[in-house]
Structure 1
């Protein structure tokens, strides 16, 4: 996808190189799960839920690190700090260009749009929702309206899940922007209130609709920028959506898929709603909560 001509008029915070306290290892990660299950579920979090044991203990991926004290980096716009954060490596530059495109697109589509902050971290960071650890994958924190990204996740997406390519990476960021749109429109708060009164199974079902809507919103962004798509982009996105479906991840972890435990949707559902957004380019077509069938 051709986005290398975008201006980086974005909000960026960089926590890479900083040190953060708190519990390390799997224990610290499991302590964070209640927050994740409530609302702050990122595109990569389903990787944690379904296959944390598989990747940590079998393949050595998704490692958790330790650290000392520290605090979150502040938001930066323009100037040397932004330039250095976005140009640390090619993937960082790509992420910044993607966010710039997302901002520009949603400013045109959604009245009252406010920019989120892209927060880079490495292994361990700190968000307004609590600790950030690389095993979570990319996630959105509604408290500080930040999209948290450890770019090492993209290597895992490629090498461990077989979903490489620039559009696969951009889809992941666009999905997290979808959660930001849900925060801005009030959908996120409404669903969180409903989840607080629901059973675990009902709460999971609501979360699936949240995640599929975010997939559809990612497709809307791509559909709005169809003239920038390159051959193979859509296939890369569909491959990534398939790779992070609940049923696929559970099977790869040696577990029997159980629908009541799904929190992000099946591979087929994720691909379908991404495709729906792509084809329509219309966020009005992304009302997963009104859909009788997902």
Structure 2
């Protein structure tokens, strides 16, 4: 992905410098995430009910790698802003209000609860912000086997896609139903939420390619590999656990790849109706 020297976003809240409050991880789902690896299952329901504030704690020196990762995220976020503004104008007939992306190092707090490197990136509907510790990119590459800059871009685009769902009213409706459902039913709805975000990420990738021409050979393969490596079944097997579909919250590797590809091939929001199909 050609990103160096390109425009960055102004919608970045950088919490990596300076001290603040001490964050705590009080969400039960984060223990599961910690046990089976990053990006396993940020459960939106406990995030919605979690309590937190905006305090944070930096984690010492900001390295050159940290600075470069921040610049990269800023460029990817800027691309999402332009692409989704265009898509909303053409397919939604309304304005797109972009999210703020919070960069942190170590720990931080959000209205959705505490966050650390163990939680992985997540979108908080409580304040319409994406939270990201860029050290996750190292984990993504070295521990999860999903290297490449476009794999990292896919992660950012996926979380922004949750904001798109929020803007469209989909996320709020889905989570309202989840809060009134059994755990198994809630998990099943979560899978549909996540697969739709993967599909939206594919739409974003297609439009980035068409609008900016910044994708390079192998970029889509990097995103597809990332989708594979963070499928619930793959994460659990790699953690030495037996996959149990009724406990999945994000979908299988095959599903995540297929829905990303669906969005990429169509470029159309209507193709991403994971709630209206039995063929996930």
In the superposition, the TM-score normalised over structure 2's length comes to 0.84
In the alignment, which residue of structure 2 is the partner of 1:276?
Answer: 262
Q: Which residue, out of 150, 153, 165, partners 1:170?
A: 153
The residue matched to 2:240 in structure 1 has which SS?
coil
Moved segments of 4+, more than 3 Å? 3-6
**Residue 67 (structure 2) aligns with:** 89
Residue in 2 that maps onto 1:247: 233
Question: Which of residues 175, 178, 191 is equivalent to 1:195?
Answer: 178
Q: Secondary structure at the match of 1:229?
A: coil
Answer yes or no: is the 8 Å Cα contact 1:139–1:176 preserved in 2.
Answer: yes
- The 5 Å alignment of 1:70-109 reads 71=55, 89-109=67-87
* Of 266-275 and 276-285, the range deviating more from structure 2: 276-285
CA positional deviation for 1:88: 5.3
Q: Secondary structure at the match of 2:130?
A: strand
> What displacement does 1:103 show?
0.3
1:132 aligned counterpart, secondary structure: strand
Task: Check conservation: 1:245, 1:270, Cα contact below 8 A.
Answer: yes
* Residue 146 (structure 1) shift: 0.6
Q: Does 2:122 correspond to 1:139?
A: yes
Q: Which residue of 2 aligns with 1:33?
A: 28
> For this pair of structures, how many residues does the alignment match?
253
d(CA) in 1 for partners of 2:65, 2:135: 15
Distance in 1 (CA, whole Å) between partners of 2:273 and 2:255 is 14
Contact 2:36 2:235 in 1 (8 A): no
What CA distance in whole angstroms lies between the structure 2 residues aligned with 1:19 and 1:126? 10
Q: Deviations over 1:139-198 (max 9, x none)?
A: 001111111110000001111011010000000000001100011111111011111111
> For 1:255 and 1:248, how far apart are their aligned partners in 2?
10
Question: Deviation of residue 282 (structure 1)?
Answer: 1.3
Partner of 1:234: 220
Where structure 1 has 5 or more consecutive residues not aligned to the other structure, the ranges are 24-28, 35-44, 57-68, 74-83
Q: 1:15 to 1:49 in 2, by over 3 A?
A: same
Could you say which residue in structure 2 is the equivalent of 1:13? Answer: 13
Supply the distance in 1 between the matched residues of 2:69 and 2:54 (Cα, whole angstroms): 25
Counterpart pick for 1:256 among 208, 218, 242: 242
- CA distance in structure 2 between the partners assigned to 1:257 and 1:182 by the alignment: 28
Secondary structure at the aligned position of 1:106 is classed as helix
Question: TM-score, length-normalised on structure 1?
Answer: 0.80
How far off its partner does 1:293 sit? 0.5
The root-mean-square deviation of aligned C-alpha atoms, in Å, is: 2.4
1:257 CA drift (Å): 0.5
Q: Aligned partners of 1:217, 1:251: CA distance in 2, in Å? A: 27
